[in-house]
Amino acid sequence: MASAATIPAQPKGATGCLVLADGTVIWGKGFGATGYAVGEVCFNTSMTGYQEIMTDPSYAAQIVTFTFPHIGNVGANMEDVESKVESAVGCVVREAVTPASNFRSTSEFAEWMKAAGKIGISGVDTRALTRRIREAGAPNAMIAHEPNAGFDIPELQKRAAEWAGLEGMDLAGRVSRENQEDWGGGYWQLGQGYSRAAWKNDGGADKPHVVAIDYGSKDNIFRNLVKAGARVTVVPARTSVEDIMALKPDGVFLSNGPGDPAATGTYAVPVIKALLDKDVPLFGICLGHQMLAIAAGAKTMKMHQGHRGANHPVQRVGEGWGDTTELVEITSMNHGFAVDGDSLPDGVEQTHVSLFDGTNCGIAITGKKAFGVQYHPEASPGPQDSFYLFEKFVGMLG
């Protein structure tokens, strides 16, 4: 890493760079797409599931630093794509991407990154970059890959410094689907791929109907709702409460997504408040959880470094969880904003907390069938400790 005042000559073989808003330059070897992109640099501690991470809309306008060194060694395939909309703009990895060695691979990771328009840089000291993020917070940066040209470092630094950042930014409207969809996909099984949702075969008349609001959802969330026994209709982020109620939902799901919950909440929170007033059962994940909390009277905040990985311990602390209260779940997380636990009003119970830093990871609204969690219980990638939440929600709808 080099400061803006002492920018070294481009090292021999360096075809990629990461230029932070403060002028720090990190050189590496580019792979994937060529060109330039701006975003917030974060880090993810997952050891697997890099393709799901790179296609998670919650990472829109972000550059992912992987702390695990061997990223790309199992290749890529179309089954592990979580969404085809905007997601992470690029990634930073330690080791060079090696040839794929996995029976599910259908392409090399670098080839898939190029086809997806995502920029990668390898050969970076990701431990040093991670420590920097932990100490100074997630910086804005430009990521660049140009195999046959030099880099205008001052211009890249200028563009990184001028980028407004994620705070105050509504990204959900950019990544949400434009049209309503009856979700027909089932769960994935080894050797069989994705099945057709069982309710599609008989019309689902006996299944609870969940209307899922798409703020930037991962497809595996909808598959888990189907697995838990629901019939699912997915609607765009800006769908009105009148249009939602016209679908006659038994419950409404509030999805994950990118950006600042307070910004997205300008149009989403009034809808959520109206659904609460109508006593519609609600379940929110990540961004959906944050906006449910805002609708109930709480506040959200930008985190110093965020939580991203598939190994985050969360303790159940709320009532109503039966004999499982106080047990610890190992969870998958991806968020740079959080609900301010100190702002929870009367009638909103904290149900889960992070054992890393004590931040809020779950709420339940007293007197309502409404709850949310900060983490991603769909486990794509990640552990499956939290699938019970889908069963809990669908079980409320009978």
Residue range 143-190, pLDDT digits in tens: 999 998 889 999 999 999 999 999 999 999 999 999 999 998 777 777
Same domain, residue pair 189 and 287 = yes
Catalytic residue, chosen from 40, 52, 329, 378, is 378
Q: Among residues 129, 162, 195, which one ends one of the domains?
A: 162
Q: Say if residue 99's pLDDT is above 60.
A: yes
CATH code for position 369: 3.40.50.880
Q: Say if residue 3's pLDDT is above 70.
A: no
* Helix, strand, or coil (residue 305): strand
Same domain, residue pair 106 and 230 = no
**For residue 391, what is the enclosing H or E element?**
helix 388-395
| Residue 100: inside a domain | yes
Q: Say if residue 212's pLDDT is above 90.
A: yes
Same domain, residue pair 47 and 85 = yes
Same domain, residue pair 144 and 43 = yes
Same domain, residue pair 106 and 188 = no
Lowest mean pLDDT among 203-207, 242-246, 329-333: 203-207
| Residue 39: inside a domain | yes
Lowest mean pLDDT among 36-40, 208-212, 249-253, 320-324: 320-324
Q: Which residue has the higher pLDDT, 151 or 1?
A: 151
Q: Say if residue 38's pLDDT is above 70.
A: yes
pLDDT band at 201; cut points 50, 70, 90: low
Contact status, residue 313 vs residue 280, Cβ threshold 8 Å = no
Q: Say if residue 318's pLDDT is above 90.
A: no
Q: Among residues 131, 162, 193, which one ends one of the domains?
A: 162
Same domain, residue pair 262 and 293 = yes
Express as a percent the part of the chain with pLDDT over 70.
94
Q: Which residues in 240-254 are b (16+ Cβ under 10 Å) and which e?
A: ebeebeeeebbbbbb
Catalytic residue, chosen from 209, 335, 352, 376, is 376
Helical ranges in 90-238 per DSSP H: 109-116, 126-136, 153-162, 172-175, 199-202, 219-227
Average pLDDT over residues 328-340: 96
Length of the chain: 398
Same domain, residue pair 181 and 267 = yes
The pLDDT of residue 326 is 79
Residue range 226-259, pLDDT digits in tens: 999 999 999 999 999 999 999 999 999 999 999 9
The pLDDT of residue 323 is 53
Q: How many CA atoms lie within 13 A of 160 on its CB side?
A: 30
Same domain, residue pair 208 and 60 = no
Lowest mean pLDDT among 165-174, 298-307, 353-362, 378-387: 378-387
The pLDDT of residue 205 is 73
| Residue 198: inside a domain | yes
DSSP state of 79: G
| Residue 167: inside a domain | no
Q: Which residue has the higher pLDDT, 4 or 14?
A: 14
Contact status, residue 160 vs residue 140, Cβ threshold 8 Å = yes
Provide the domain limits for residue 363.
Answer: 172-395
CATH code for position 55: 3.50.30.20
| Residue 228: inside a domain | yes
**For residue 289, what is the enclosing H or E element?**
helix 287-295
Mean pLDDT of the chain: 93
Same domain, residue pair 216 and 312 = yes
Q: Among residues 127, 162, 197, which one ends one of the domains?
A: 162
Active site residue 286: yes
Closest alpha carbon to 255 in 210, 305, 309, 306: 210
Amino acid at 110: A
Q: Say if residue 2's pLDDT is above 70.
A: no
Q: Say if residue 346's pLDDT is above 90.
A: yes
Closest alpha carbon to 61 in 154, 138, 1, 152: 138
Same domain, residue pair 156 and 196 = no
Same domain, residue pair 315 and 340 = yes
pLDDT band at 195; cut points 50, 70, 90: confident
Catalytic residue, chosen from 17, 286, 329, 361, is 286
Tokens of residue 365, six digits: 């609204």
Average pLDDT over residues 300-311: 96
Q: Say if residue 66's pLDDT is above 60.
A: yes
Same domain, residue pair 287 and 232 = yes
Contact status, residue 218 vs residue 334, Cβ threshold 8 Å = no
Active site residue 378: yes
Lowest mean pLDDT among 65-74, 127-136, 170-179, 185-194: 185-194
Name the domain count of the chain: 2
Angle value at C-alpha 138, between 134 and 141, nearest 5 degrees? 135
The pLDDT of residue 1 is 54
